[in-house]
Amino acid sequence: MSEFLLNLYGPTLKTADVASVLHCHPAHVRQLCQRGELPAIRIGGRWHIITRKLGAMLDGEADDGR
């Protein structure tokens, strides 16, 4: 199931990678994921931030819902 989800959403980033980009602590990134403020899926207790949606969000583009 997890491989299916990762294939569905495309490339993902780890919380530590996103924390580096956003200049914050990985725990803060996990909180943002939990609150739905970052485009992420949770698989096996780990957050996977959806790269293309994060890029669109940072560029200020509209989200297509997937």
Residue 26 lies in a domain: yes
Looking at residue 63, what is its pLDDT? 56
Residue 66 lies in a domain: no
Please report, for the domain that includes residue 14, its CATH number: 1.10.10
Residue 22 lies in a domain: yes
Looking at residue 42, what is its pLDDT? 94
Looking at residue 61, what is its pLDDT? 65
Residue 65 lies in a domain: no
What is the Cα–Cα distance from 26 to 18, expressed in whole angstroms? 8
Looking at residue 16, what is its pLDDT? 97
Residue 49 lies in a domain: yes
Per-residue tens of pLDDT for the chain, all 66 residues: 578 877 888 899 999 999 999 999 999 999 999 999 999 999 999 999 999 999 888 888 655 555
Domain count of the fold of the chain: 1
Residue 64 lies in a domain: no
Residue range(s) defining the domain that contains residue 25: 2-59
Please name the residues in contact with 66: beta carbons below 8 A apart, sequence gap of 6 or more.
9
- Is 15 in a helix, a strand, or coil? helix
